Amino acid sequence: MNIARLLARTAETYPDLPALAYGKDIVATYRDYAEQAAGLAGALRGKLGLDAGDRVALIMKNHPEYWIALFAVWQAGLVAVPVNAKLHINEFRYILENSESRLAFATAELTDQLQPITEELPMLDAVISVHEEAYQALKKEAPFPLQEAAPDDLAWLFYTSGTTGKPKGAMLSHRNLLVSVLSYFADVTALTPGDAVIHAAPQTHGSGIYGLPLIAKGGIQVTPESGGFDPAETLELIAHYPNSCFFFAPTMVHRLIASPALKDADISNLKVIVYGGGPMYEADIRRAIDAIGPRFVQIYGQGESPMTITGLSMDMIRDEAHPRRSEILASVGTERTDVEVKVVDSGDTPLPVGEIGEVVVRGDVVMRGYWKNPEATAETLRGGWLHTGDMGCFDEEGYLTLKDRSKDMIISGGTNIYPREIEEALLTHPEVDEISIVGRPHPDWGEEVVAFVVVREGGAVTPEELDRHCIEHIARFKRPKEYFFVEELPKNNYGKVLKTELRERLGS
């Protein structure tokens, strides 16, 4: 089934219900939404000349037009490539080239930045701003009929960085996305027509995945006018929209409950905050429950298994009488309805309760593999199981607790940052001899990036120079927040840098 059928069905049943909102203003009913998506699909397959299976990039900050473009791509039988709007131009270029995207839709502030890429990449026909009159005209083209799709046909390329420093495109099929939607209904919360999902987190990532269940049930996609997360604005939107739902990174929960605006806010409309994408410490979730009540669900997932590995339900979080409540709140919950999850040793042998190993998962929600990367696919999906790279253990009740990240990933503000990418960028500076990047705990962002730098003999470099060098090569948010200049990096007998020792120096 084409995942775009979710919109078509809801538009048939609830044509006059509000579908898309910008701040407190409704900008489209489901009838409007479906008609505009069908018209844009017609332009994609007609005027713009795309063929079935072609890739279309969505490089957009949060905006209602994202939802129209996304479903137009699917309706036309094409593949969506949603891209994090905060990335560096070099990362945009890589993803567009690797995915062989024929077209890119962008919000206004990114269009000018992307235009030069069209001259460098022969496959990329155009970058179209969703704010221009020409784009609006495309939505008025003759509607294109909803295309058939086999369950395993590619629907979404989700680019997730890896330890090689190059993003990998997780191939998500129509089946993967549909199972993720059904798993939401099974394990997260029930939905009714008119419920609202407020996209304070990026629509190109987890928040966008959780927009799909709302479309299936006739809910409203609400984009804050700020385009992101502002606690005071978020609280105003909660007061305005009944049954407000969210996907938050843990740092967003922290910022919400710390906001002075919460004291006088009306949060009676708040239905659920689903949190994930980083560690939520027990003390933090307890403070959040005290501040706004037990209206939380935790999920653990990856782009390769979208939003779906384990979960800590609202009932589990509410259960104050459980004798092991502290351990449960510190866990990431139990196996989701639609998957199997194991903890295995280095030889992929399942481990008993209490022993730490790598978390692996299988089920119909797990990706087909990595785009044009058979080696990484074979390694990650060996034996039919997705190897997450996360280390954890199960307890006797089936609760999974994550212990470490075997790939040294840093999670800052809910965004995955991979040290090797930063290390490779800084090593291109002529004064840098060696570099090691680690994460340091941060009270608001979860973790922040820190660099240990060995300068070339006789050389000299300042943190300001390294900052400028980073900004020239990678996204600004990935640059280190502090540089420590050391004579040498600690290493084992095989020459591998001991990042654990560096973290110990930081007290982390």
Q: What does DSSP assign to residue 150?
A: -
Provide the pLDDT confidence category of residue 165 given band limits of 50, 70 and 90.
low
What is the average pLDDT across 22-51? 98
Where residue 411 falls among pLDDT bands split at 50, 70, 90? confident
Confidence check: pLDDT of 483 > 90: yes
Instruction: Assess whether pLDDT exceeds 80 at residue 356.
Output: yes
Tokens matching residue 181: 């939607």
Average pLDDT, the chain: 93
Residue 408 has pLDDT above 80, yes or no: no
- Rg from Cα positions in the chain: 23
Residue 101 has pLDDT above 90, yes or no: yes
pLDDT above 90 (res 484): yes
DSSP string, 392-453: EEE-TTS-EEEEEETT--EEETTEEE-HHHHHHHHTTSTTEEEEEEEEEEETTTEEEEEEEE
- What is the average pLDDT across 266-280? 90
At 193, which amino acid appears? Answer: P
Q: Domain 5-391, what architecture?
A: 3-Layer(aba) Sandwich (3.40)
Task: State the average pLDDT over residues 266-283.
Answer: 88
* Calpha distance 220→211 (Å, rounded): 9
pLDDT at position 52 over 70:
yes
How far apart are the C-alpha atoms of 188 and 182, rounded to whole Å? Answer: 10
Band of the pLDDT at 162, cuts 50, 70, 90? very low
**Structure tokens of 418?**
């991979």
pLDDT value of residue 163: 40
Pick the CATH number of 410-505 from 3.30.300.30, 3.40.50.620, 3.30.1240.10, 2.130.10.10: 3.30.300.30
Q: Give pLDDT, residue 434.
A: 87
Return the structure tokens found at 105: 């839709």
pLDDT at 103 over 60: yes
- Res 305: pLDDT: 97
Q: Ramachandran region of residue 437, left (φ > 0), alpha (ψ -120 to 50) or beta?
A: beta
pLDDT reported for residue 41: 98
Pull the structure tokens for residue 106: 């962008």
If one compares 10 and 408, the residue with the highest pLDDT of the two is 10
Give the pLDDT score at 410. Answer: 85
Which distant-in-sequence residues (6+ apart) come within 8 Å of 47 by Cβ?
138, 141
**What number of CA atoms fall less than 13 Å from residue 361's CA on the CB side?**
29
* Per-domain boundaries in the chain: 5-391, 410-505
| pLDDT for 324 | 92
pLDDT of 164 higher than 50: no
Lookup: tokens for 469: 């060098």
Q: Do domains 5-391 and 410-505 have the same CATH topology?
A: no
Residue 337 has pLDDT above 60, yes or no: yes
pTM of the model: 0.85
Q: Is 147 exposed, middle or buried (0-12, 13-18, 19+ CB in 10 A)?
A: middle
Predicted pLDDT of residue 413: 83
CA dist 256 → 199, 240, 249, 259, 376 (Å):
14, 17, 11, 5, 38
CA distance 97 to 81: 12
Residue 494 has pLDDT above 70, yes or no: no
Q: Is 23 exposed, middle or buried (0-12, 13-18, 19+ CB in 10 A)?
A: middle
